[in-house]
């Protein structure tokens, strides 16, 4: 197996990985919104998907696949806000559009706090890994 | 007549894309694609694709090929036609 074979293998594996992830995501959305199943019915898939996405981005950041010259607070906050907006919209759609009766304002606010916290932890984890990855690379260059 | 010129131009560009230098150097060394591939730790298909200009090898592989053929990287991979 030479470098060309490896390159082709990596490309095929990457494409197949993303197709699998998208297919599983499609299954989760279909179960949740079309079949109206509860989270407990596909909790295992949801957990695997979450861990997978979390570690995929973490690995990309740590090994330098996502180029970051400098960690800027402004950019981090912007990404965080975008994630919070997306998470909030998804949660609102899940509980108040696809289900009736929907959640009250207080219940939605509780969900929003959970979104804030989880996304904050996720962002913190990614920032930590970015810093560690950058340090590792700097050490290798010394 | 215009079509013939177009076809000739197309064939000329195909020839340019091919790495004829590598092919010539390999033949000069009396090596088959398989033998060169064995020397540099690649497959015959990879050598064939490099010669056809359809695969960009890594610098390490370029160096190994150049060493195996007793040539420099410039001799094998530098394209002077695109230099100004």
In this prediction, residue A121 carries a pLDDT of 92
Mean pLDDT by 10 residues, chain A (142 residues): 92 95 90 83 87 90 83 88 91 77 82 90 91 88 83
Please give the distance of CA B16 from its chain centroid, rounded to a whole number: 10
In this prediction, residue B24 carries a pLDDT of 92
Question: pLDDT at residue B7 above 80?
Answer: no
| DSSP annotation string for B1-69 | -HHHHHHHHHHHHHHHHS-HHHHHHHHHTT--HHHHHHHHT--HHHHHHHHHT-----HHHHHHHHHHT
Question: pLDDT at residue B80 above 90?
Answer: no
DSSP label at residue A99: S
Which residues in chain B have their CB less than 8 angstroms from residue A3's CB? 42, 46, 57-58, 60-61
Question: pLDDT at residue B20 above 80?
Answer: yes
- Contacts made by residues B53-62, CB under 8 angstroms, sequence distance 24+: B53/B17, B53/B18, B53/B19, B55/A4, B57/A3, B57/A4, B58/A3, B60/A3, B61/A2, B61/A3
Q: Do B58 and A3 lie within an 8 Å CB cutoff? A: yes
Question: pLDDT at residue B12 above 70?
Answer: no
Q: Compute the distance between CA of residue A110 and CA of residue A93 in angstroms, rounded to an integer.
A: 15
Q: Chain B: which residues have CB within 8 Å of chain A?
A: 37, 41-43, 45-46, 49, 55, 57-58, 60-61
What's the pLDDT tens digit per position in B31-75? 999 999 999 999 999 999 999 988 999 999 999 999 999 999 999
In this prediction, residue B2 carries a pLDDT of 66
Q: Do A5 and B43 lie within an 8 Å CB cutoff? A: yes
Question: pLDDT at residue B15 above 60?
Answer: no
For range B27-33, the mean pLDDT: 94
- ipTM value greater than 0.90: no
In this prediction, residue B9 carries a pLDDT of 60
Nearest CA in chain A to B44: A2
* CA neighbours closer than 13 Å in the CB half-sphere of residue B49: 13
Please give the distance of CA A21 from its chain centroid, rounded to a whole number: 12
DSSP label at residue A73: H
In this prediction, residue B78 carries a pLDDT of 86
Q: Do A4 and B41 lie within an 8 Å CB cutoff? A: no
């Amino acid at each position: 197996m030479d470098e060309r074979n490896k390159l082709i293998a990596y490309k095929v594996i990457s494409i197949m990985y993303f197709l699998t992830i998208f297919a599983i995501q499609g299954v989760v959305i279909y179960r949740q919104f079309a079949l109206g199943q509860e989270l407990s019915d596909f909790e295992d898939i949801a957990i695997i998907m979450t861990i997978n996405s979390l570690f995929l981005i973490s690995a990309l950041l740590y090994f330098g696949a996502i180029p970051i010259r400098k960690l800027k607070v402004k950019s981090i906050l912007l990404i965080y806000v975008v994630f919070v907006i997306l998470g909030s919209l998804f949660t609102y759609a899940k509980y108040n559009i696809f289900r009736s009766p929907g959640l009250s304002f207080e219940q939605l606010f509780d969900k929003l706090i959970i979104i804030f916290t989880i996304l904050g932890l996720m962002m913190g984890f990614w920032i930590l890994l970015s810093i560690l990855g950058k340090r590792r690379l700097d050490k290798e260059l010394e | 007549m215009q079509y013939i010129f177009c076809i000739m131009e197309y064939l000329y560009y195909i020839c340019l894309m091919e790495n004829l230098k590598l092919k010539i150097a390999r033949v000069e060394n009396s090596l088959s694609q398989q033998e060169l591939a064995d020397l540099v730790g690649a497959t015959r298909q990879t050598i064939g694709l490099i010669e056809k200009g359809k695969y960009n090898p890594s610098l390490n592989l370029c160096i190994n090929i150049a060493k195996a053929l007793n040539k420099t990287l410039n001799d094998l991979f530098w394209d002077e036609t695109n230099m100004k």
